């Protein structure tokens, strides 16, 4: 086949280092979501949704056919952490991440989920949410190693 027809949709989840609440200001988060969109665009990644709370982010992306998930995460985290430090935030992302595949038929539901993060986390911690994702996806893990 001469052409590529990828549909690699990934829901990324990662937190600030030690889950510190460094992204408290709504305005900072809104600017960060836009900055993620620019980073993604500059690297051939389609950003479908961005959201999160003071201590973590959710990104719904479409990967280009020639980029690994790990490379996309590295590009997004490195550039955004540099931008945050340039805006006087003593900032680092956690070392790891979650990457969960999304079918095209579930994109709208995941976008809605990402858009309701503040409401969602009024009732549930990031840690509970992340472990729920791991369980739902059937990913085995050692509880003491998930959050380092």
The sign of the torsion formed by the CA atoms of 47, 71, 109, 121 equals negative
Q: What separation in angstroms does the CA of 26 have from each of 23, 33, 77, 147?
A: 8, 11, 19, 25
Class of domain 9-146 (CATH, top level): alpha beta
Q: Is residue 49 within 8 Å of 110, Cβ to Cβ?
A: yes
Q: The whole model's pTM is what?
A: 0.92
For the stretch 88-99, pLDDT in tens is 889 999 999 999
For residue 72, what are its two tokens?
A: 């996309």
Per the CB < 8 A criterion, the answer to whether 77 and 141 are in contact is no
Cβ-based burial of 53 (10 A; exposed 0-12, middle 13-18, buried ≥19): buried
3-37 residue pLDDT tens:
777 789 999 999 999 999 999 999 999 999 999 99
Q: Is the pLDDT of residue 144 over 90?
A: no
Helices and strands per DSSP (H, E), number in the chain: 6, 4
Q: How far is CA 66 from CA 84, 94, 139, in A?
A: 28, 25, 25
């Amino acid at each position: 086949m001469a052409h590529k027809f990828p549909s690699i949709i990934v829901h990324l989840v990662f937190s600030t280092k030690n889950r510190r609440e460094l992204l408290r200001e709504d305005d900072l988060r809104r600017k960060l979501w836009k900055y993620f969109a620019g980073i993604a665009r500059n690297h051939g990644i389609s950003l479908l949704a961005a959201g999160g709370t003071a201590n973590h982010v959710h990104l719904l992306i479409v990967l280009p056919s020639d980029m690994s998930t790990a490379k996309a995460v590295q590009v997004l985290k490195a550039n955004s952490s540099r931008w945050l430090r340039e805006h006087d935030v003593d900032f680092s992302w956690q070392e790891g991440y979650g990457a969960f595949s999304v079918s095209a038929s579930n994109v709208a539901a995941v976008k809605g989920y990402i858009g309701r993060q503040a409401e969602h986390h009024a009732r549930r911690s990031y840690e509970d949410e992340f472990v729920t994702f791991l369980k739902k996806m059937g990913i085995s893990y050692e509880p003491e190693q998930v959050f380092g």
